Amino acid sequence: MLTHRRWESLDTADLGWLHAKYHFVVSADGNPEHAALGPLIVWNDDEIAAGSGFPMHGHRDMEIITYVRQGMLGHRDTLGSDGTIHAGDVQVMSAGTGIRHTEFNTGEVPLKVYQIWLRPREAGGEPAWDTKPFPKSDRSGRFVVLASGFAGDEGALPIRADARVLGAMLKAGESVRHELDPARRAYLVVASGRIEVDGEPVGPLDGVAITKVAAAQISVLEDSELVMVDAG
Q: Could you tell me which residues are annotated as the binding site for Fe cation? A: 57, 59, 101, 103
Quick count: other Cβ atoms within 10 Å of Cβ 175? 11
Q: What CA–CA distance (Å, rounded) separates 139 from 127?
A: 29
Q: What CA–CA distance (Å, rounded) separates 146 from 176?
A: 18
What is the distance in angstroms between the CA of the first residue and the CA of the last residue of the chain? 16
Element containing residue 126 per DSSP (H, E) = none
Binding residue ranges = 57, 59, 101, 103
DSSP secondary structure letter of residue 181: -
Alpha carbon separation from 71 to 85, 89, 106, 107, 109 (Å, rounded): 9, 10, 8, 6, 6
**Residue 143 CB-density burial (10 A; 0-12 exposed, 13-18 middle, 19+ buried):** buried
- Asked if 229 and 140 count as a contact pair (C-beta separation under 8 A), the reply is no
Cα–Cα–Cα angle for 119, 82, 63, rounded to 5 degrees? 5
